[in-house]
Structure formats: C-alpha cells, structure tokens
Amino acid sequence: MQVKNTLYTTQLNSLKELWLHVTYQCNLTCTHCLFSCSPTSEANELSLDAAISHVENALSIGIEKLYITGGEPFMWSKLESFLTWYYKIPRAPLTILTNGTLIDDSKAAFLAKFHKQGLQLRISLECYLKENNDAVRGQGSFIKTTSAIRTLNSYGIYPWIAFTDKSNSASCCNKELETAFKNTLSEQHSIRIAGLKIISAYSKGRFAVSANHSSSFTSSPFEMNPNVSGLQCGYGLTVCAEGIAPCPILVDNKDVLHQGDLQDLIGNPINLNHSCCENCLTSGTTCGQ
C-alpha cells in the first residue's frame, strides 16, 4: 500500500549516519527478508572503491556512525579489505549487521583486531528458542549463530542481538524481552550478548503485504506522528551499488536512488509516500541504534 498523501516530507538536515548496503546475496532465506535475499541472488556488490570514496566523504562531513548491511555482509568479497582500510586510523564507530552463521574462529580472530577500535556486531536471532528461530531463519541456523557468538565471546566480543518484531507488539515489553534473551542464551547456551535491538518488520520482500500482514491502522500514520519526528531519513543515508537511498529499506527502489554525492541530499526534503514509511511513522523503529 502506498501512503497517498504526498505532502508529508522530512528533511535531511545533517548527515549523522551512513549505511553501506554491500550485497544482495545471503546464505539464508529468511521468511521476512526485505529483499528476498538468498544464496542464488545476484550479488550486485558495492565496489571497494565506491565504499571507500563514500565513507571518506561522509567522514569529512562528520558522520557519527557507520553501518554495513546487506544481504549478508560476510558474503561481501571486499569486507576484510574494507575493514583493514577503515581501521588504519581512528574513525567513527562501525557496526556490521549479520546473521552470524558464517563467523568461524578465523573470522572472529580477524574481527577481534578491530573490536577495541569500536567495531561492533549486531547478529540477528528471531528467538532465544531454537525451534522458533529456525522456523523463520531456516533449519540449523540457531545452532550456527549461537556457536558463532560463543566463538566471538572467546575473543572478548559481545554482540548485540537484532530481533524483528513481526507483530508490532514487542516494543511495549522490550526490557522484558531483552532480559529473556540474555538469561536464556547465558543459562542454556553459555553465551553473552551486549543487548537487544528490536526492529519492526516491513511489508515488503518475503514478508510482503497480504491478508495476514496488511495495515491495521484506522488513522493516517501522519495523524499519529504529525511532526514526522525521529525518522532515520532525517539524519542518515544509504549507499548501494546503484546509488544513494534515503534509508536502508529503500535501496532496491530505483525511483529514489540518487546519482551523485552525499552532500547533494543534505538540506533537501525526503518524500514519505512509500509504504515502508508507514512502518517507521507508526512503530518509531530505526535501523540504527
């Protein structure tokens, strides 16, 4: 569903966050994936040169945080080269969003070199119970992910967990849910996490709008949030292989992609007529921390 009222916009007043969408390939086929990623998806990788160029530009502007996402970032062929370049000197904190299943001892040791310089990991789990997680992320994914977290812990890395709220109900009990994740993962799997990040599910990709996932709101989302405040597109941009998007959710929408520099978009209005914008307006979710 498109939000019909195109008069509502927000504005990118300053660039505080930059996201790099580095690949569409993923080793999993999660049921709620925004971009329907899979092992056979065309990678459409962000080149190393483009990533470095945009990040250098963003750092000169004064970004405070950098994120790497996909797809699965550990399938990006340039990840190690990029991290090696990035951490040659102190820079803004960087977070990698990953399902964690590809992190072995070798990768954990490599990541540990940069952990004290601000590298963070956000690893996706749909539940602290194996059966519930694997129903969404695939058979065996829970064991692989928790094993990876245990390996990271052995190197002193305690990742954040990302939980996708597919019912738009978890935000009211986020502290209780975080406690349940921490306690269960610690007691039953001997792993430690830094905390829990709850993200609203978006009605696109495999979790597309359907009879089961249609909007239940009786009021316009703009009536609920008339000042369109707190939106990530008001302080962040996302770079992908095909251009620059207002947010990580819209990188596959060619109509919104900008060809040019990051500075071109600062101070300009961001149109909020996309169905994804309804999720952000009503749930208050942001992809960043």
Does residue 258 sit within a domain? yes
Does residue 1 sit within a domain? no
Does residue 288 sit within a domain? no
Residues 135 and 247: their CA atoms lie apart, in Å, by 28
Give the total number of structural domains in the chain. 1
Residue 244 has pLDDT above 90, yes or no: yes
Could you tell me the pLDDT band of residue 146, with boundaries at 50, 70 and 90? Answer: very high
Residues 180 and 163: their CA atoms lie apart, in Å, by 12
Average pLDDT over residues 56-65: 96
Does residue 123 sit within a domain? yes
Does residue 164 sit within a domain? yes
Residue 218 has pLDDT above 60, yes or no: no
**Reported pTM:** 0.89
CATH of the domain at 194: 3.20.20.70
Domain that holds residue 128: 9-283
Percent residues over pLDDT 90 in the chain? 67
Average pLDDT over residues 3-12: 63
- Biggest CA–CA distance in the chain, Å, is 52
Does residue 70 sit within a domain? yes
Does residue 265 sit within a domain? yes
Tokens 């993923």 — which residue?
A: 26
Residue 95 has pLDDT above 80, yes or no: yes
